[in-house]
Amino acid sequence: MPDNAPRAISASLLAWYDVHARALPWRAAPGSNAPDPYRVWLSEVMLQQTQVASAKPYFEKFVARWPSFEALAAAEDAELMAAWAGLGYYARARNMLACARTVAARGGLPDNEAGLRALPGIGSYTAAAIAAIAFGQRAVVVDANVERVVPRLFALAEPLPGARPRIRTLTDSITPDARAGDFAQAMMDLGATICTARAPRCLICPLRAQCDGFASGAPEAFPVKAAKIPKPQRHGTMFWVERDGQVQLVTRPAKGLLGGMRALPTGPWSDTPPGLEGAPIEADWRLLDARVTHGFTHFNLDVALAAVTITAHSAGEGIWWPIADLDSAGLPTVFAKAAMIFRRDGCAG
């Protein structure tokens, strides 16, 4: 790649972005003043491990309900967790609430990467993105799209994840001093709409002339990825306890997977099927034929489903939630899947 290529890359990409930038509810128009830092921060937290299309309706719901750090800081934990349900990676929601309370207490969001990294739930990427997009600071922003675009631009043969330090160095080399926020968002848009994982649209790419991957004739060969390690398989049982049109819910422990969320009672998640171990009450349980499968970050889960109906005077502690209004409980996705099957197939009767 020629010595002047980094300057040409940033100039070409910004010119393309000025015309083709995606209209997103948390963005300012290209070349405009930085948008509200709260909206930038909220969007970046939601976009961690979540696609733009999935995050948009949640973002719009959140800013309508909690339009500022101060408003979000005053939210009840359970209220926020219920509103987050379905976005996954629930530690983000807990950290988001802690961050909002910290920012509200200090009177504003820090405008630099070091200050941002000190806040709950903000790592190196998120700090760089907020610093660049919300405050116009030069920062090296490397998301999943950049991890695809940059190895193609430079035909980087080193495989991920080991190549990440080199990718950051190369991204630094093409990041301009001015309009760093626009440049970061332009890289995201390029990766999302043109330099896609499969079938990249190289013929309309603004960086085709500078792209070593395109010149190689096999841009899809980059980035090189190490072989995937299969996820462990775990098993569990979820329990549906119904009485008088209500179902028993529990609040999961604050720490751990899906911490603080409302959920159906469940037994242990183990390497072998646990049967009825961990059932919330002694009962004549009926095992449903249907099962639920769900993929978490570090393991896959296979869940058996057991149901029973009890009388109003039977034992059974926990939260009793109207079945007709169960969608408002904010169940995590894996429990929402199970609830749909229980409601469809009926419980023990």
Active-site amino acid positions: 44
The position carrying tokens 């395109």 is 214
Q: How confident is the model at residue 166 (pLDDT cuts 50, 70, 90)?
A: very high
Q: How confident is the model at residue 314 (pLDDT cuts 50, 70, 90)?
A: low
More confident position, 303 or 3: 303
pLDDT at 125 over 90: yes
More confident position, 92 or 1: 92
Q: Give how far the C-alpha of residue 93 lies from the chain's centroid of Cα atoms, to the nearest Å.
A: 10
**Which residue type occupies 108?**
G
- CB contact at 8 A, 290 and 341: yes
pLDDT at 349: 44
Instruction: Round to whole Å and give the CA distance between 348 and 152.
Output: 56
Cis peptide bond upstream of 223, omega within 30: yes
Q: Which fold has domain 5-221?
A: Endonuclease III; domain 1 (1.10.340)
In the chain, CATH 1.10.340.30 sits at 5-221
pLDDT at 348: 42
More confident position, 16 or 345: 16
Q: Residue 113: which of 141, 84, 155 has the closest Cα?
A: 141
Please state, rounded to an integer, the average pLDDT across all residues of the chain. Answer: 92
Q: What does the pLDDT average to over 46-70? A: 95
pLDDT at 315 over 90: no
Report percent pLDDT > 90 for the chain: 79
Q: Residue 151: which of 201, 227, 224 has the closest Cα?
A: 224
Q: What does the pLDDT average to over 288-296? A: 93
Report percent pLDDT > 70 for the chain: 96
In the chain, CATH 3.90.79.10 sits at 233-345
Cα 325 to Cα 215, 320, 321, distances in angstroms? 57, 11, 7
Q: Residue 30: which of 182, 192, 135 has the closest Cα?
A: 182
Who's near 21: CB < 8 A, 6+ residues apart?
Answer: 27, 29, 30, 185, 186, 189
Q: What does the pLDDT average to over 288-307? A: 94
Q: What does the pLDDT average to over 172-182? A: 95
Q: Which fold has domain 233-345?
A: Nucleoside Triphosphate Pyrophosphohydrolase (3.90.79)
Strand partners, 321: 247
